[in-house]
Amino acid sequence: MLTVESRMNLRGLTGREITDLLLDCDDATYQEWWPGTHRAFHVIEPGPGKDHLGDLVWMDELVGPRHLRMAAEVLEVAPGERVVWQLRPWRLRPPVRLTLTLRDQGAGVELCHTITAGWSGWARAFDPLWRLYFTDAFAAAMDRHVRTEFPLVRNLLHPSPSGSATDPRRPKG
């Protein structure tokens, strides 16, 4: 099993705000969140209920030098606490998951962003092949991405009255 994990604490946000944003995201909001880096994030096919389980979403973003485009199915939802997506390129179901775990703490939230890739049983023998895609350089780029991306949620959901003082995307002056 291969794991790429980033952890951080975010002040001024709750876990519920983050899960609500990700489960109800559309392209315009995603692009506003991180202009130029976030390209698209929207539901392709809704799941059977209103809880987002089974939603098939499209993600398109830049992570370091890579342009990532993929479909993913929402496998688990615990509002304010956890969302799990399984990547589904070309309608396949490779054993690759993106898990976002959140824990509210005082004036903020502890966030853990984890990508796991790996098979179970005899197919585990093929797990080293994941290193061809999930390289150390990719893991470092993903960590930088997560550490830039999630602090921007606060600016998106709670913009400062003046705008430029706390929003690194807006020019000063």
Domains by residue range for the chain, with CATH: 2-119+126-157 (3.30.530.20)
| In the predicted structure, residue 172 carries a pLDDT above the cut 80 | no
Burial class (CB in 10 A: 0-12, 13-18, 19+), 85: buried
- The neighbour count for residue 149, using CB atoms within 10 Å, is 18
- What integer best gives the mean pLDDT of the chain? 90
Q: How far apart, in whole angstroms, are the C-alpha atoms of residue 81 and residue 67?
A: 28
Kind and range of the H or E element at 19? helix 15-23
Mapping DSSP to helix (H, G, I), strand (E, B) and coil, where does residue 46 land?
Answer: coil
State the amino acid at position 3 in one-letter form: T
Q: How far apart, in whole angstroms, are the C-alpha atoms of residue 64 and residue 80?
A: 28
pLDDT score, position 119: 85
pTM for the full model?
0.88
Q: How far apart, in whole angstroms, are the C-alpha atoms of residue 138 and residue 71?
A: 19
Confidence of residue 163 (pLDDT cuts 50, 70, 90): low
Q: How far apart, in whole angstroms, are the C-alpha atoms of residue 107 and residue 3?
A: 29
Confidence of residue 123 (pLDDT cuts 50, 70, 90): confident
State what percent of residues in the chain have pLDDT above 70: 91
